[in-house]
Amino acid sequence: MERRLAAIVAADVVGYSRLIRADEEGTLLALRALREELIDPKIAEHRGRIVKLMGDGILVEFASVVEAVACSSEVQLGIAAHNAGGPEIVFRVGINLGDVIIDGDDIQGDGVNVAARLEALSDPGGMCISDAVYEQVRDRLDLKFDSLGKQDVKNIDRPVQAWKWSATSNEPALKSSPGGTANSLANKPSIAVLPFDNMSGDSEQEYFADGVVEEIITALSRIPSLFVIARNSSFIYKGRAVDVKQVGREQGVRYVLEGSIRKAGRRLRITGQLIDAATGAHLWADRYDGSLEDIFDLQDNVTSSVVGAIAPKLEFAEIERTRNKPTSNLDAYDYFLRGMAAFHNWSAEGNVEALNHFYQAIEIDPEYAVAYGMAARCINQRAVVQPFAVGAEDIAEAERLARRAAELGRNDAMALCMAGITLGFVVRDVRGGAALTERALALNPNLAAAWYSDGWLNVWLGNSQIGIDRIARAMRLSPQDPMIFQMQSAMAHAHFTTGNDGEALSWAQKALHDRPDHLPALAAAAASAAHLGQQKDAEDAKSHMIGLFPKVDQNYLANFLPYQRPKDSARWLEGFRKAGFPE
């Protein structure tokens, strides 16, 4: 008799008999739709095998424990998103790793029995896993499991250590790996806008194509009921041949918009196509021709058409969006796009280039709010990339730019966001900055930069848990962000202010893995490790920091961040004393 080790998933519908009694036809149709649209495709995507169906239940075998758990979490979140408007189908899931006996197409044995018993321990909409499964996935999946301790289960002669996961308190994501990543679907229509292909034959026009896509992302983000992946995450696919289904899995979205731009002289052509990421089906495609002077109308047409294609999933009233244009001057817009391209280099050289472009945009259009905001943000960036390079004149200029951005951009979320974080970090007007980022969030709840900035400001104000929640939301909106190290660093500081030094050090180390020279992450690593008594880690961070920035000492670090609570400032400074920084 053949045996093999397998990950076994057992699942059944909660209250199936009650649902059948209440609405037999509706329940069966809803269950069939879930299987066809979500469950079966997810199992196939994660290379699982449906062993058998048992009325209200299903038994699935996976060769990989990670795939079994990732698939189950994604299915549970997907089911929650699909439940609106019909019979509420909710599953319990149990997962075990064990030896199974092969009996034709069926599997049997203790491994299967334990999975079934764990399923009975699961919360509705959640899952329960064995200790063997937990040990395999704890460092591979960003899922939070709570221990249930050892459980006595029917017909199993030994207690089973169990762990439970709840969909309501998790936003799962497979960590990046060479084989790909996977994110949970948002609980509302979600989209990633990929970089459009530049068909102009001129590499100098890349910034223009990128800018058009950024404007489309911004416009879509204003729709409250649409979850839009941030620019930095979607742009990781720039210049790559991509599988749209893979993009959907990696970004956790249902729809993908791709297209191209051809610019010849003053003539412009934009093509776009909207694709269902789960099936690869093309939902909509169109082409728009016009003159360069029509660029904003063309962007609006693309955006409106995309929304129209998704409209069946949306409430009609929520499709309404503001049509404010950043500027009517195309030359100013051109300089702004060049500035954005340089800013995203995150370097001293790129920062200088970006600031010059933003100043040129402002010179052409003195009422260009977001150009003022990004110019202010450049000074903010300089304070991190080049410590000691920001003097009193720079601080005054940052304040002028930020306040002008806020004045001109009362209804521009990006302008308010950039102004807010600059007022908080550079000018040290933390409360004033937070007021601006809160307004930015009200205007555009899909703007990752606003959640990130507001998270920092709340951390500095002492609202640590709000900061943690805000930063986590930013990471969910931009899960593949090339500059996610900034968010990870912010999360480290947020946990530091709660006194959770272990979590702070962990997040700081994640940030440093991608960006070893990031000063805020180095500082968080040194201070948190010192408070933990991990002197070697603290000294390593200190040595690396001083090697990069020789002038850094206790006094500089004590004033590096604008902590408003004396206890946060005191604990911050004490960490550097313990780490051995020079006074």
Task: Write out the DSSP string of 238-278.
Answer: TTS---HHHHHHHHT-SEEEEEEEEEETTEEEEEEEEEETT
- Beta strand 282-291 with 255-264 is unpaired
Query: Does residue 203 surpass a pLDDT of 90?
Result: no
Residues 518-556: pLDDT tens digits?
Answer: 999 999 999 999 999 999 999 999 999 999 999 999 999
Ranges of beta strands (E only) in 201-354 are: 227-228, 255-264, 267-276, 282-291
| Residues 8 and 154 placed together within one structural domain of the fold | yes
Domain check: are 399 and 422 in the same one?
A: yes
Q: Does some domain include residue 181?
A: no
Residue 182's pLDDT is what?
44
Does residue 278 sit in the same domain as residue 369? no
What pLDDT digit, counting tens, does each position of 222-239 carry? Answer: 666 577 888 777 888 888
Look up the pTM and report it. 0.57
Range in 4-8, 54-58, 59-63, 73-77 with the lowest mean pLDDT? 54-58
Confirm if 341 and 207 have CB atoms less than 8 A apart.
Answer: yes
Q: Report DSSP state, residue 342.
A: H
CB-based contacts of 13, cutoff 8 Å, min separation 6: 19, 31, 56, 57, 89, 90, 91
Query: Which position has the token pair 């899995």?
Result: 249
**144 and 102 inside one domain:** yes
Beta strands in 106-217 (DSSP E): 106-108, 127-130, 146-151, 160-165, 190-193, 197-198
Please report whether residue 480 resides in a domain. Answer: yes
Query: What is the chain's alpha carbon radius of gyration, rounded to the nearest angstrom?
Result: 26
Domain range for 230 is: 190-319
What is the rounded CA–CA span in Å between residue 216 and residue 212? Answer: 6
Residue 471 lies in a domain: yes
Residue of 316, 289, 317 lying closest to 302 (CA atoms): 289
Return the SS3 of 397: helix
Task: State percent of the chain over pLDDT 90.
Answer: 40
Residues 574, 583: Cα–Cα separation, whole Å:
12
Q: Burial code of 428-448, b = ≥16 C-beta within 10 A, e = fewer?
A: bbbebbbbbbbbbbebbbbbb
The rounded Cα 566 to chain-centroid distance in angstroms is: 32
What is the count of structural domains for the chain? 4
Structure confidence at residue 61 (pLDDT): 93
Same domain? 340 vs 265: no
CA distance 366 to 354: 17
| Backbone angles phi and psi of 215, in degrees to 5 | -65, -40
Residue 85: which CATH number? 3.30.70.1230
Residue pLDDT, tens place only, 109-160 = 888 989 998 998 888 889 999 988 988 887 677 788 888 888 877 767 678 8
44 and 98 share a domain? yes
Are 495 and 431 in a shared domain? no
Q: Are residues 505 and 365 in the same domain?
A: no
37 shares its domain with 115: yes
Residues 6+ apart with CB under 8 A from 117: 94, 153, 154, 155, 156, 160
CA distance 512 to 506: 10
Whether 343 and 396 map to the same domain: the answer is: yes
* Confidence band for 328, pLDDT divided at 50, 70 and 90: low
Q: Can you name the residues that pair with 91 across neighbouring β-strands?
A: 13
Judge whether residue 180 has pLDDT over 80.
no
Q: Determine, yes or no, domain membership for 560.
A: yes
Comparing 15-29, 120-134, 322-336, which segment has the lowest mean pLDDT? 322-336
Q: Are residues 516 and 426 in the same domain?
A: no
Tell me, yes or no, whether 185 lies in a domain.
no
Catalogue the long-range contacts made by 299-302 (C-beta closer than 8 Å, 24 or more residues apart): 299/212, 299/215, 299/216, 299/219, 299/270, 300/219, 302/216, 302/259, 302/270, 302/272
Q: Give the residue from 300, 319, 338 where a domain finishes.
A: 319
Q: Please give the Cα distance from 210 to 241 (Å, whole number).
A: 17
pLDDT tens track for 427-444: 999 999 999 999 998 888
**Cα–Cα distance for residue pair 411/421, rounded to 1 Å:** 17
Q: What is the pLDDT of residue 318?
A: 31
Query: Are 189 and 81 contacting, i.e. CB atoms less than 8 angstroms apart?
Result: no
Residue 452 belongs to a domain: no
More confidently predicted of 179 and 529: 529
Choosing from 420, 445, 470, the residue where a domain stops is 445
- Could you tell me if residue 450 is inside a domain? no
Angle, vertex CA 367, rays to CA 364 and CA 370, nearest 5: 95
Question: Do both 396 and 372 map to the same domain?
Answer: yes
Start-to-end C-alpha separation, the chain: 72
The per-residue pLDDT for 518 is 93
Per residue in 340-393, pLDDT (tens digit) is 888 888 888 999 999 999 999 999 999 999 999 999 999 999 999 998 888 999
The CATH number assigned to the domain holding 198 equals 3.40.50.10610
CATH number for the domain that contains residue 571: 1.25.40.10
Q: At what angle do helices 369-385 and 392-408 cross, to 10 degrees?
A: 150
For residues 373 and 417, is the Cβ–Cβ distance under 8 A? Answer: yes
Sign of CA dihedral 327, 331, 335, 337: positive
Q: How many CB atoms are located within 10 Å of the residue 175 CB?
A: 11
Among 285, 319, 353, give the residue marking a domain's end.
Answer: 319
Q: Are 458 and 467 in contact (CB under 8 A)?
A: yes
- 23 part of a folded domain: yes
Beta-strand runs (E) in 265-364: 267-276, 282-291
Q: What is the pLDDT of residue 307?
A: 55
Condensed to tens digits (0 to 9), the pLDDT of residues 330-349 reads 688 788 878 888 888 888 89
